């Protein structure tokens, strides 16, 4: 299998906890009042507690839908500001619906509130902290959410930046846990661009003992600093980071074959060049067969059907894409309850 030089690491450090089940056990560390800008802001134990809370909330939601069972409203009287400078379907609806289901309220602020142009990030933060209990920000530069968090006295949650998409990664790995149980030694093969979604998956997967692979054209690799941080998080687990330029080899034996759009928001001028570069990196039925009969397909959406993934895979029996999408709701509800102290 061809790999990029120096990019493969089988991290294991003596003296560190080696059982992923053990480090996923809930801990006493509180998330109340904390920002969530990166997957690396959490410990493995805190991720475990979030996943347990998400599973409880999902079961409660199923009982509500199927039997009309009453639900708890731990965030009654709380308000979430949703500051979005990028279009959104899943992030907006899941956070807004989640707050409503938890008894709170969400206020959606469109890209008309342009931080740094109409008002400075500092001034936006100073205003919102007087009005609401938390902020979800979906922006371009990661530095915007960092500054927003530094200036606001209320918790700030990263709803997407060019560097990371941490809420997406939480939902994805929660979906893997539902499907496979123990995460230790599982293999997630990402096919495509080393982008913000890959960054967050690499960080979270490494923390939890998952082997995270990436098949990508040489010029579309991940941020080296993210790779270094993921390797550090993987010390003491069974995690590995594997890179290569042959999708068939990268997916062989994988539990999950993951892809994302080749052209993200803000990259529209690169569309044609990216189509050429990624032409060999389409997830189709043949690539899923190469992964193995038990492999499942994931996509964070929105998808360009026929480009990075075929409709046959998306809508086929090996797809868990819609489970991923649903789990955004449950995992983010868990995050809101933990952060707002409900």
Q: pLDDT per residue over 166-214, tens digit each?
A: 999 999 999 999 999 999 999 999 999 999 999 999 999 999 999 999 9
> 254: Cβ–Cβ under 8 A, 6 or more apart, which residues?
187, 188, 189, 213, 291, 292, 295
List pLDDT tens digits, range 62-77: 999 999 999 899 999 9
Residue 10 pLDDT > 50: no
In order of start, what are the domains of the chain with their CATH numbers?
Answer: 39-164+326-340 (3.40.50.1370), 166-325 (3.40.50.1370)
- Radius of gyration, CA atoms only, the chain: 19
Compute the distance between CA of residue 332 and CA of residue 84 in angstroms, rounded to an integer: 16
Per residue, what are the HEC states of 228-239?
A: HHHHHHCCCCCC
CB half-sphere exposure, 297, CA atoms < 13 A: 28
The residues carrying an active-site annotation are 138, 165, 168, 260, 300, 328
Q: Give the three-state DSSP class for 97.
A: helix
What is this structure's pTM?
Answer: 0.91
* Mean pLDDT across the chain: 90
- Would you state the pLDDT for residue 112? 67
- Would you state the pLDDT for residue 325? 98
Q: What's the CA angle centered on 82, arms 176 and 268, to 5 degrees? A: 75
Question: Which residues are 79's β-sheet partners?
Answer: 105
């Amino acid at each position: 299998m061809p790999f990029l030089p120096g990019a493969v690491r089988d991290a294991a450090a003596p003296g560190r906890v080696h059982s992923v089940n053990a480090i996923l056990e809930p801990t006493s560390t509180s998330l109340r009042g904390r920002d969530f800008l990166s997957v690396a802001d959490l410990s493995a134990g805190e991720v475990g507690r979030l996943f347990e809370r998400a599973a409880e909330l999902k079961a409660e939601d199923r009982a509500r839908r199927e039997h009309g069972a009453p639900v708890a409203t731990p965030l009654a009287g709380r308000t979430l500001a949703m500051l979005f400078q990028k279009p959104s379907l899943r992030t907006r609806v899941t956070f807004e619906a989640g707050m409503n289901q938890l008894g709170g309220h969400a206020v959606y602020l469109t890209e008309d509130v342009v931080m740094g142009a109409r008002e400075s990030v500092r001034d936006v933060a100073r205003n919102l902290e007087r009005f609401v209990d938390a902020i979800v920000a979906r922006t371009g530069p990661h530095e915007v959410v960092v500054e927003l968090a530094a200036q606001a006295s209320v918790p700030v949650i990263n709803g997407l930046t060019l560097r990371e998409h941490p809420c997406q990664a939480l939902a994805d790995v929660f979906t893997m846990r539902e499907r496979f149980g123990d995460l230790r030694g599982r293999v997630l093969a990402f096919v495509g661009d080393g982008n913000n979604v890959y960054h967050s998956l690499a960080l979270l997967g490494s923390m939890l003992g998952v082997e995270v692979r990436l098949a990508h054209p040489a010029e579309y690799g991940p941020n080296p600093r993210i790779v270094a941080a993921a390797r550090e998080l993987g010390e003491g687990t069974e995690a590995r980071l594997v890179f290569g330029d042959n999708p068939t080899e990268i997916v062989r034996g994988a539990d999950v074959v993951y892809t994302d759009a080749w052209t993200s928001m803000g990259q529209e001028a690169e569309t044609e060049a990216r189509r050429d570069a990624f032409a060999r990196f389409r997830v189709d039925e043949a690539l899923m067969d190469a992964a193995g009969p038990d492999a499942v397909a994931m996509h964070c959406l929105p998808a360009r059907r026929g480009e990075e993934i075929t409709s046959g895979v998306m809508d086929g029996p090996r797809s868990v894409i819609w489970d991923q999408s649903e789990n955004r709701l449950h995992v983010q509800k868990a995050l809101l309850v933990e952060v707002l102290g409900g």
